Amino acid sequence: MKNSIKLFALAALLGLGGCHEPDELTPSVVDQGLNTISAQFATGEYKNDPLAKFTAAVTEGQERIVIDIPYYYPENSSNTTSITQMRVTANLDDNCFITPMLGTLDLTKENWFTLTRVDGSKRNFCVTGNIKKSDKCEIISFATDEPAIQGVIDNDRNTISLITVDDLSSVTAQVILSPHATISPDPAVAANYEGEGVKFTVTAHDGVTKRVYSVSKEIPPKIKYGWRAGSETEVWQNVSLDKLGIVNAGGKIYSLAASGNKLVLSTGADKFLFNRATGDFLGAHDMKGVAADGGMTSDDAGNILYANLANPNAEFKVYAAASTDEMPAELLSYTNATGASMGKHISVQGNVKGDAIVTAVIYTWNGAVCKFLRWVITGGVPAKPQMISVTGATAGWNGNGHADVEAYSANPDDPYFLAYYSANALYRVDATGAVTHKIATATWGANSNYNCVDVCTFNNAKYAAIYEGAHFTYGEFKAYMFDVTTPDQMTGACDTSPSKVFVSNEYKPAGAVVNAAGDVLMTASADGYKMNLYYTDANTNALVAWEFDCIDK
């Protein structure tokens, strides 16, 4: 009985405690709530374009938030922007909200909102826009006319070096500037670049920001080996190729070539030109009646090679041209006796007007032996092709053209580099076809498409690059570069290998994937101071350019 009374009393006390009103929970730390405000075009060609997203950072207590919108968009166009219909979004801390809701706003006006933070405190703020002229004032490219010399630009020191022994006491030059910038004096007027050279002032579109460059004949110092860490720069990118009329579709073959100041993008029968320095679209490439619906590439001298597609027993041809202005002429032909198709990828090392090696993969299916044809060119004359069967790499899905092979050099006794789907690895293959080294699939690259490879010699180093193309909407969409000078470093996976020296930014597919096609291309400048890496991906609508240098700073 006593135990029952005690239990009843305890229950009553607990009941009284349960009726006690709890204290209000207040966070010990309250962040500012609103971190950034972003605006995108709500209408027109660049509606919701992820690259056309303009963001303003917000400071604690800031009442008036101004989003800067470029005067022209794209910045290298003459399309003036309108900000009367902009889709505005915010980055908020957890449990914070804005009233009324953000949406499509006229940023020529002040748009007022209330921010409620996690502790219940409120503050008002307004969002407006500012159409801003560019403050960019760089010389992107500087080249003399006669003699033709491409200047080596050092933007850290504001210098441009003209590397030559020629007389530069009275020469004219052509420049490419930041969009809408101006330059003084006019480089098209003959000037003396000997001695101290010439000083040029570049004025940005805003009319205020300026940079002075010194241009002279000199030889800047180089580092001893490879490209300089920290010089890697994404100089331009276009992830909206469809807006230029370059539309992905089944059966299209994407490949790249570089010659002079032009970059060529081929989708098979159709080919398009871009400015290598700026990425500006230059229109369709006139093939002058020559039909070449297969892959394309360029050699170390800038000669462009164009191939046709060839099914079994059909004629496979490769044409060559010294520039985009020259009519392509037949370089080699071969009656396809391989029993499989060929022509979707071709590669070259050397100079086809001298000594070179041209390779073309034979597209076989899962379980078959990987094979490629090799043409050794000596003194500009191709020998009969040789079939190389690869031991240690069994074909996957490369029957659709998802494979590429590239020679190490113009020496037929040197190795080759092979990449294909769905092995998704980089193979080093000796001259007999035996796999000697392998870099495995990247951690997140199993669902990508390793269907292209390129090799480049630069400042005493040998580099190989691959691009992980979009086969699905998920996976990795990156270019990797490896130093393959020392073969034994070719171990591990693409993202962990000791030979890895570079990985690019990533641009993901914006919609459904259609056709897994892509290419990667590396080129070294004639003066040996710069190297470019280009890649393209049909499913991501991307064409991207990176630059590396070996200037000792």
What string of H, E and C letters represents the secondary structure of 329-346?
Answer: EEEEEEECCCCCEEEEEE
Distance CA 503, CA 507 (A): 13
Question: At residue 11, what are phi and psi to the nearest 5 degrees?
Answer: -65, -40
- Per the CB < 8 A criterion, the answer to whether 219 and 518 are in contact is no
* Between residues 287 and 401, the one the model is more confident about: 287
- Per the CB < 8 A criterion, the answer to whether 191 and 200 are in contact is no
- Lowest mean pLDDT, pick from 161-170, 375-384, 478-487: 161-170
Distance CA 84, CA 44 (A): 12
Domain borders along the chain are 34-132, 139-217, 233-549
Taking residues 294-300, report their average pLDDT: 98
Distance CA 168, CA 195 (A): 10
The CATH number of domain 34-132, selected from 1.10.3210.10, 2.60.40.2340, 3.30.70.890, 2.40.30.160: 2.60.40.2340
Q: Is the pLDDT of residue 450 over 60?
A: yes
Question: Could you report the per-residue pLDDT of 515-546, keeping only the tens digit for each?
Answer: 999 999 999 999 999 999 999 999 999 999 99
Q: Is the pLDDT of residue 350 over 80?
A: yes
Classify residue 4 by its DSSP letter: H
Taking residues 219-230, report their average pLDDT: 96
First to last CA, the chain: 93
Taking residues 23-36, report their average pLDDT: 66
pLDDT band at 8 (very low <50, low <70, confident <90, very high): very low
* Between residues 440 and 51, the one the model is more confident about: 440
Identify the CA nearest to 471 among candidates 368, 419, 402, 536. Answer: 402
Element at 17 (helix H, strand E): helix 2-18
Taking residues 491-497, report their average pLDDT: 97
Identical fold, 34-132 and 139-217: yes
Distance CA 535, CA 533 (A): 7
| Count of C-beta atoms within a 10 Å radius of residue 86 | 25
Burial 453-462 (b: 16+ CB within 10 A, else e): bbbbbbbebb
Question: Could you report the per-residue pLDDT of 175-205, keeping only the tens digit for each?
Answer: 999 999 999 999 999 999 999 999 999 999 9
- Lowest mean pLDDT, pick from 64-68, 223-227, 399-403: 399-403
The CATH number of domain 139-217, selected from 2.60.40.10, 1.25.40.10, 2.60.40.2340, 3.40.50.920: 2.60.40.2340
- Strands (E) located in 422-509: 426-429, 435-439, 448-458, 461-470, 479-483, 500-503
The predicted structure's pLDDT at residue 1: 41
With pLDDT > 70 as the criterion, what percentage of the chain qualifies?
94
pLDDT band at 213 (very low <50, low <70, confident <90, very high): very high
Identify the CA nearest to 153 among candidates 476, 459, 551. Answer: 551
Q: Is the pLDDT of residue 123 over 80?
A: yes
Taking residues 438-453, report their average pLDDT: 92
Q: Is the pLDDT of residue 500 over 90?
A: yes
pLDDT band at 13 (very low <50, low <70, confident <90, very high): very low
Element at 11 (helix H, strand E): helix 2-18
pLDDT band at 30 (very low <50, low <70, confident <90, very high): low
Is the C-alpha dihedral spanning 217, 218, 223, 228 positive or negative? negative
Tell me the fold of 233-549: Methylamine Dehydrogenase; Chain H (2.130.10)
The predicted structure's pLDDT at residue 198: 98
**Amino acid sitting at position 190:** A
- Per the CB < 8 A criterion, the answer to whether 542 and 507 are in contact is yes
Q: How do 304-307 and 64-70 pair as beta strands?
A: unpaired
Taking residues 62-87, report their average pLDDT: 96
Q: Is the pLDDT of residue 401 over 80?
A: no
Residues in contact with 496: Cβ distance below 8 Å, sequence separation at least 6, in sequence order: 443
Q: Is the pLDDT of residue 31 over 90?
A: no
Taking residues 236-255, report their average pLDDT: 94
Structure tokens at 368: 């078959």
Distance CA 449, CA 453 (A): 11
pLDDT band at 272 (very low <50, low <70, confident <90, very high): very high
Question: At residue 488, what are phi and psi to the nearest 5 degrees?
Answer: -65, -10
Classify residue 146 by its DSSP letter: T
